[in-house]
Structure formats: structure tokens, C-alpha cells
Amino acid sequence: MSSSSSPSDRRLSALARHLSSPAESPVAGVSASITSSDVGSVFSHVVRAPEDPILGVTVAYNKDPSPVKLNLGVGAYRTEEGKPLVLNVVRKAEQQLVNDRSRVKEYLPIVGLAEFNKLSAKLIFGADSPAIQSNRVTTVQCLSGTGSLRVGGEFLARHYHQQIIYIPLPTWGNHPKVFTLAGLSVKTYRYYDPATRGLDFKGLMEDLGSAPSGAVVLLHACAHNPTGVDPSLQQWEQIRQLMRSKKLLPFFDSAYQGFASGSLDKDAQSVRIFVADGGECLVAQSYAKNMGLYGERVGALSIVCKTADVAGKVESQLKLVIRPMYSNPPIHGASIVAAILRDRNLYNEWTIELKAMADRIISMRHQLSDALRARGTPGDWSHIIKQIGMFTFTGLNAKQVAFMTKEYHIYMTADGRISMAGLSSRTVPHLADAIHAAVTRVV
């Protein structure tokens, strides 16, 4: 990448590289033969793109007429009855908003709802965070976690000297696309060891240790997606020391605060140890999972800076990223979050509902593990209980996944990830039967 090329040139060439990567095959390429039915359209050269590897699972699921079908693809919480859940506390907050006749639908400022931003920073950094108290943090409301990552990526591409971002291998499938299209150059660091189904800590430290000084490093704050494997606190501390000594810039993706352990504070510890050393970092927060606000698209990007002066200037530039992208964010979801975070009773009620969701997921882990043991399914399945958060990274291969979808109507991503939040006591036996058949019949 030449340093003299303009940001838009860089973006186009990055996009071309991305689209020609073998992982994305069949490729949404640029040439195709024109068939007779296409003649006359200026878009006749457009090639049908493949479905998204995660959201496309839901598309396939919706087309399946089977009564026993089960969607364990996208990470969306379901109740024991298999239904989507709107939290009680969200219903209450929405009622308050509806009842308040003084509320209007005017545009929010470019950076979003001020109170939401303040409370979101407090939630992730802690109520007594010195970084917040000294105004070193700028927080802008964005379109959920994805929008926050994208705005952060675009800001870095414009204003940060090092254009390389390291993402874990594997990671959430959208990460490389978000950052590539933001204009950054994406590289990976080792994270997961399939042999132990645990963290490849040595590989991680080696790869970050040999990263160029100043590189950005994407870290999952907790409940790593898709592996469900997180560093221990001691390992986080070692990662912090290494990253600070090499001047690597941390960019935390916090999409599951409260979902890993059931505790909002515990799940924010990784972020807080980095902020406590006075250094700089970025954090993308999502309320999709922990408040069940998926479709409301509510999240925040915080950038912790060395001084209040720098933070103010950074915020002024974030506005220049956001304004031409979507002008300003939507008001409803952020108002719900602010209503809950500001009110002690609603906040407490939220933490109880959140813990109940986290506990139900943990109970699904135990039920699935017991069901496999009862069937004598070959292999070590202890990782089902050890892994953390919404997903189990089963170790099933793409052929076994395809078999389970075809024969059992169970839908999951091709990498063998299953959303534990989509399971219930009623559906565990069906999944266990399918896994048992897959590992005994498909190699």
C-alpha cells in the first residue's frame, strides 16, 4: 500500500483484494457472461453474491418447512420456549418513553444522545473511572457494535499513523470486512489451538510480539466469538504489558458484556486493566445481546485519549466520519438504554434479567454435555462446559455441519459454531442425536 495513495484509492484496492480472497468464494466478481434475459440492463454484469456466512444461515433456515428445524446460527437469545425475548425492563422503559408527551422526534446531534454516551462509558469503564473523571474519553453513539467498529476503523484509517490492524484467528466473520472497507490493512494473530480447544497463548504472544510498532490490535473484551475462549486475568495482564511495551493500540470489541459471566463488571475487566494504566484505546460497545436490542441498532464507540484536549479534537473528527456516513444515529434504542442505565431500579432489574439469560446459556452447556455423555458420543466434549458466552465452538467440521442440516434440520455456521442461546431443554436431545450421528457417521 503506497503512502501517497488517497484514502479512496486505498479503499478500492483493499476492496478488490478482499473480494478476490479465496475465503469469499464464490466471488462477487466483476465479469460475467451476459445472458439473453439480462440484455438491456445496465446491471447485467452484476454477479449474484453469496449469502453472509452467519446471517445467511437464518435465510436457509426460514426456507426449511420441517417442524423440527432448529436455528443455532446467529447469536440471538431465545427463551426456553424457543421464542425471542424482549426484556421486561426494556418494555418498562419503552412505556415510560411513550407516556412522556414532551418527547419529540427531532434529529439527535451527530454524536448521538449525550446522556446515553455518558452512561455507556460508565458501564464499560466503571463508575469511578479516572479516565472519565479527567474527560479523557470521547464516546459517540453508533449503529450497534458493527457501526461502532466501522466508525472507529474509519477514524483510524484517516488519523492514525499505523494502518495495520491485527485480528484474532479465528474471529467474528465480519471483522475483516469491516476493517478492510474502513481502509485498514488486516492481519491475523494466532488465538485458538484446535488441539487443546483452548487459547494459543504462546502463539498470541509471539504474533503480537513481532507485530510492527504501533499496529492496532482487535481484542474481544469477553466471550470471544466464535471460540468461547478468553484469556485469564493473568494472561490479559501479560498481553497488556506486551502491547504497551510495543506501543500496540488496543481496539476492544465488547459485544457481550454481562453475557460471559452474568456480571457486567467482571466482563469489563479486560478493558479496565488497559484503561487503568493511563494508556489509550478504542472500545466498541453493543447493546444487541445484553439488552436484547438487536434490531434497534444501539451501541457506542469510545476512544480513551491521553488528555482531555486530545479527546475533544478526536471527537470533532469522529463527527466528520459520521456525518457523511449516516448523518446522526437513531433515537429510540439509545433512549431505552439511557432510561435503564439512569434509573437505579431499572438498572438492578436489568442486571437480574441479564444474569438469568447468562445462566440459562450455562445450563444449556451442561444439558448438552450430559446428553452427549449419555449417548456415549466419541470424543472429549468438555469444551462445551469450559467455553464462555453465547457460542460453543464444537470442533465439528463443515461436512458434519452439512450432514446435521440435511438430516436433522439443524442450522449452524459452517465452522461448527453453535449458538447455545438458541437451544432449550426441549431441543437438546435432538441436537445431541445429530452430533452423535455426525461424529459416528461422517468423518
Q: Which residues bind ligand PLA (CB under 6 A)?
A: 54, 74-75, 144-146, 172, 174, 220, 225, 253, 255, 286, 288, 294, 299
Nearer to ligand PLA, 259 or 350 (CB): 259
Nearer to ligand PLA, 132 or 288 (CB): 288
Is residue 302 within 8 Å of 318, Cβ to Cβ?
Answer: no
Tell me whether residue 118 is one of the annotated catalytic residues.
no
Which helix (H) or strand (E) segment holds residue 253: the answer is strand 249-254
Least Cβ distance, residue 271 to ligand PLA (angstroms)? 14
Q: Can you give the length of the chain in residues?
A: 443
Tell me whether residue 253 is one of the annotated catalytic residues.
yes
Q: Is the dihedral of CA 46, 48, 49, 54 positive or negative?
A: positive
Residue 302: strand pairing partners = 139, 283
Contacts of 97 (CB under 8 A, 6+ apart): 103, 332, 335, 336, 339
Nearer to ligand PLA, 225 or 257 (CB): 225
Q: Which of 207, 230, 253, 267 is catalytic?
A: 253
Which helix (H) or strand (E) segment holds residue 237: the answer is helix 233-245
Nearer to ligand PLA, 89 or 293 (CB): 293
Q: All 3 cell numbers of residue 100?
A: 412522556
Nearer to ligand PLA, 174 or 188 (CB): 174
Burial of residue 26, with CB atoms counted within 10 A of its CB: 0-12 exposed, 13-18 middle, 19 or more buried:
exposed
**How far is 247 from 138, CA to CA, in rounded Å?**
21
Nearer to ligand PLA, 138 or 286 (CB): 286
Least Cβ distance, residue 159 to ligand PLA (angstroms)? 22
Nearer to ligand PLA, 305 or 338 (CB): 338
Least Cβ distance, residue 420 to ligand PLA (angstroms)? 12
Name the nearest CA neighbour of 289 among 329, 265, 257. 257
Least Cβ distance, residue 4 to ligand PLA (angstroms)? 33
Tell me whether residue 172 is one of the annotated catalytic residues.
yes
Least Cβ distance, residue 263 to ligand PLA (angstroms)? 19
Name the nearest CA neighbour of 24 among 2, 47, 41, 42. 47
Name the nearest CA neighbour of 219 among 172, 184, 261, 180. 172
Is residue 411 within 8 Å of 73, Cβ to Cβ?
Answer: yes
Is residue 153 within 8 Å of 165, Cβ to Cβ?
Answer: yes
Q: Which of 92, 172, 350, 415 is catalytic?
A: 172
Q: What is the CA radius of gyration of the chain?
A: 22
Least Cβ distance, residue 215 to ligand PLA (angstroms)? 20
Least Cβ distance, residue 146 to ligand PLA (angstroms)? 3
Q: Which of 92, 200, 207, 289 is catalytic?
A: 289
Residue indicated by cell numbers 472500545: 283
**How far is 422 from 365, CA to CA, in rounded Å?**
12
Residue indicated by cell numbers 504489558: 241
What are the catalytic residues?
A: 172, 253, 289
